[in-house]
Structures are given as structure tokens and as C-alpha cells.
Amino acid sequence: MQDTKTGETVNFHQSFFQGLSSSGPMLNIFGLFPVIVTMTMGYSFAVVAISIFLGFLSVYTGYTFSKFMRTNGGYYSYVGKFMGKGLGIFTAFIYFFYSILALPSVILFLVYFSGYVFPGGLPGGIYGEIILSLLFAMAIMAVFKSGFRQTMRFIMILSAMEIAVVLIFTLYVAIFFSTSSVAYTPPSQILGALPFGILAFAGIGSSIFLSEDSVKWKKTVNRSILYSFLALALLMALPAAAISYRMETAAELAYAADPLSLFVQSGTFGRILGMLMMIIAMTSAFNLSLGYLNAFRHAVLKMVSDHIISERYSLFSSNLWITVLAIAMPVVIILEAAAGSYNGFVIITGAVGLAFLLVHSVANSALIRFFTGRHAYLRAAIPVFSTITFIFIILQETMMGGIVKYSAYAVICMVIISAAAVAMKKYVWASSYSKTGFSEASAEFIDRSSEY
């Protein structure tokens, strides 16, 4: 295995699909939308519409900084540069954890969704789920280990398929359903569903983690964030509107319990289309994990060069995939045994969404300082409003009952562990802490997992 420099190799199309793949449009329809519909029924389009606005606020930080800073460190580099070393390292650790937890979220969804193939449940019960989880993890890691260029090929092909199938799904619902839901939803439920709506946009700015490897980075990264966000907003708004305004309450309940139930009424055509949708939804989950891991690979290597993660720990460079599996798979197995694959998916997905909001709330502080330093006080109002909104949603989610509260507990654990890690690095490994920096120089990208 040779060290290989990529140089400036990421073009606009690759950067665009990197962001879109990290959001999983089809996974949202079969994974996140049923959760939102369960909580809000006929108001699911309102949740998605609000989430599009909040999604814009969440990507605004990366969108703005991408024009001024060229760094694969992304949010933690912005925070470290403007808010200090300690907070920058803390942000890096939170990002590290929630990026890895995106993999258990995907695996749990794949296992849960595979259950539709077996009406009586997966063979072998919990042991069957664990074996299937390992198989999915191995398949994802096989592509991840094939290298950056091969991963990008998979991402672009699968993302193009997703766009087409989302539009087909929207047309199907609009044509075969005609009565809107009249179910009432209390405002608290709408607020509780927002983290799941915002999560649909969680990875849309992931192209910032490829900044140092992008051709004409100032235009490529910035434009890719904008266009991938607009594309995703359209791909989320259209099916959400069709579900909210073309499906009655009974159909929505059936969809929330089993998304494939939408296709039963159309006979053989519907069953074939439903199977196609199921396959694409599963490839969407696969694609999302590749998008997250692709960005994560670059960010971790940047953490090593910034001395946030010590270079002597080879698991964080040449064997990053082992680190990911060592953290992700115990989480998957514990949740499958304790809560089941579906509840586990909801819990871990909620945790990723809340951690995402936390990282962006901290990153917004860097953007506020950036704007105020340039006397752009009106523009600073955007991250201020964004931070207040995100903190409100985080607190609302933390105080909610049900299984969602475990998502908040998971994020609290992440915060405690990350804060402790920063303290250990500062006071126990002081020499390493003193070397930590947040460089913007175009560092070499070395993919040690395979030949480029």
C-alpha cells in the first residue's frame, strides 16, 4: 500500500454529489419521513418546510467559511481559528463521534428494512440481525477501503439513481392518492420532529471536508454546497407535500408503520415498484454511509496533521476503518438487543441530529466573531438566530419523553467524553496540546487504506 497524493482532483460534480450523498434523499423518505409522519401526521410537510429553513441556517456557516478558509477540518477548524484551541478540539471530538454514529444509524435502518423481505421476521431473531449487521458493515467498509476515487464513483452513480427514484415516488403518491389527512398534531410534537427533519440536511455541507483537494476550491466548494442544498430541498419538499396533501390519515398511519404498504393497492405493478423502491432506499442508506465516511476520512487525516489526534496511533490513519467498526458495531449490537433495530435506528438517528445541531451551534459562534470582526453586524444576525433556534430545539428534545430522550442522553455522554478528552490533552498531554494548530495550508491527502 503506497502513500499517494491526490492534489487538486475533486471537481464541482464530485463535490456536489458528495454533499447530496451525505443526506440520503431516498433514505429520508423511507427512514426519516415515517418517523416524522408518526409524530406529526398531516403536518409532516410543515415540519419539512421548517426543516428546509433550519437546514439553510445549518449549512450557512460552512457555506460562508468555504469562501475564505481552505481546510479539510471543516467546523472544528473554523471554531479553533476564531474561538480558541480548546473549543476547536472539543468540536473536533463531537464531530468525530457523531460521524461514526452515522454508520450504526444506517446499519440499523438496513437491518430493520430487510425485515420487510421476511414477513415473519428475520431468521434467527437477534442473532440473525447481528449477522446481517456485520454483513452490511463489511460491504460498506469494502467500498470505503477501496480508496477515495472508487468511493466517489459509487457515490455519483448511486446519487443519480436516487434523484430519479425520488421523483418517481412523488409522482406515484400524487397519482394514486387523492385525500389529505385531517389529523390534528399538537405543536410540541412538531417541535419534537424537527431534529429528524433537520437531520435530512445534516450532511449537505460535507464537501467542505474535501476543500484542500478541490479544483478552484473557492468556487467549487461554495457552489456545491448551495446547489446540493437547493436540490435536496426540492427532493424533500415534493414527496413531503405529496404525503401530506394526497394521503388520508389511514394511509399515513400505514405508511409510517410500513412504507411499502403504499404500493399494495396497485397490484403487480405496485409490488414491483415497491421492491424497486426498497432496493433504492437501501442503496441510499449505503450511499449515505459512504458520503459520511468519505468526508470523515479527510477530516480525521486533518486532525492528525493538526495534532488533535496523535500520529503515533496508527488506527487513526492507516487503519481508520478498524476504529470506525470498533466504535460502531458495539453500539449496533447493544441497541438491537435492548431496543430492536427500528427503535435503535430512531434513538441513534436522533442522537446524530442533536450532535449535528450542537456542532453547528458552536461553529456559529466562530461565524459571529468573523462577521463582527468585519463590522458585518446584520449578517451576524443570521448565526445568532440560528444558534438560539438550535439550542431551543436541543432543550426541547432533551425534555421530551419516550425513546427520543435516549438520543439526548447519548449526546450528553458525547459532550462529557469530549470535554474530558480536551482536559486530558491540555493537562496530561501538554506537549501534544501545545503543538495543536488549525492550519489552512493545502496539506497532502494520504489515503493509506488503499492505493488511490
The predicted-structure confidence for 89-102, as pLDDT tens digits, reads as follows: 999 999 999 889 98
For residue 95, the tally of other CB atoms under 10 A from its CB is 28
Label residue 4 exposed, middle or buried (CB < 10 Å: 0-12, 13-18, 19+): middle
Q: What is the mean pLDDT of the chain?
A: 84
Residue 167 has pLDDT above 90, yes or no: yes
Mean pLDDT (whole number) for 60-86: 91
Residue 211 has pLDDT above 50, yes or no: yes
Residue 5 has phi, psi (to 5 degrees) of -90, 130
Mean pLDDT (whole number) for 35-64: 87
Cα–Cα–Cα angle for 138, 144, 150, nearest 5°? 130
Number of helical H runs and strand E runs in the chain: 17, 0
- Those residues with Cβ within 8 angstroms of residue 254's Cβ, 6 or more apart along the chain or in another chain: 261, 262
Q: Give CA torsion, residues 82, 83, 88, 91, to 10 deg.
A: -110
Residue 372 has pLDDT above 80, yes or no: yes
Q: Are 217 and 211 in contact (CB under 8 A)?
A: yes
Domain 12-435: give its CATH code.
Answer: 1.20.1740.10
Share of the chain above pLDDT 70, in %: 90
Cα–Cα–Cα angle for 246, 249, 252, nearest 5°? 70
Chain segment 294-336, per-residue pLDDT in tens: 888 889 888 988 888 876 554 555 577 888 888 899 999 999 9
- Those residues with Cβ within 8 angstroms of residue 215's Cβ, 6 or more apart along the chain or in another chain: 8, 9, 10, 11, 12
Cα-only R_g, the chain: 21
Chain segment 433-446, per-residue pLDDT in tens: 888 888 764 433 33
Among the ranges 40-44, 306-310, 341-345, 362-366, which has the highest mean pLDDT value?
A: 362-366
Dig out the grid coordinates for 37 from the structure: 409522519
Nearest Cα to 15, choosing from 232, 211, 296, 236? 211
Sequence letter at residue 223 = R
Q: Band of the pLDDT at 428, cuts 50, 70, 90? A: confident
DSSP 297-319: HHHHHHHHHTTSS-TT-GGGTTT
Mean pLDDT (whole number) for 26-51: 86
**pLDDT for residue 182:** 59
Nearest Cα to 397, choosing from 343, 363, 349, 362? 349
| Alpha carbons 350 and 194: distance in angstroms, whole number | 10
Q: Are 295 and 209 in contact (CB under 8 A)?
A: yes
Mean pLDDT (whole number) for 417-424: 94
| Alpha carbons 211 and 223: distance in angstroms, whole number | 12
Dig out the grid coordinates for 438 from the structure: 488549525
pTM for the predicted model, two decimal places: 0.84
In three-state secondary structure terms, 10 is strand
Residue 199 has phi, psi (to 5 degrees) of -60, -25
Share of the chain above pLDDT 90, in %: 23
Tracing cell 467549487 back to the chain, one arrives at: 220
Chain segment 230-244, per-residue pLDDT in tens: 999 999 999 999 988
Domain boundaries, the chain: 12-435
| Alpha carbons 103 and 323: distance in angstroms, whole number | 12
Dig out the grid coordinates for 58 from the structure: 445549518
**pLDDT for residue 76:** 93
Nearest Cα to 247, choosing from 190, 174, 184, 186? 174
- In 170-261, the DSSP E strands lie at none
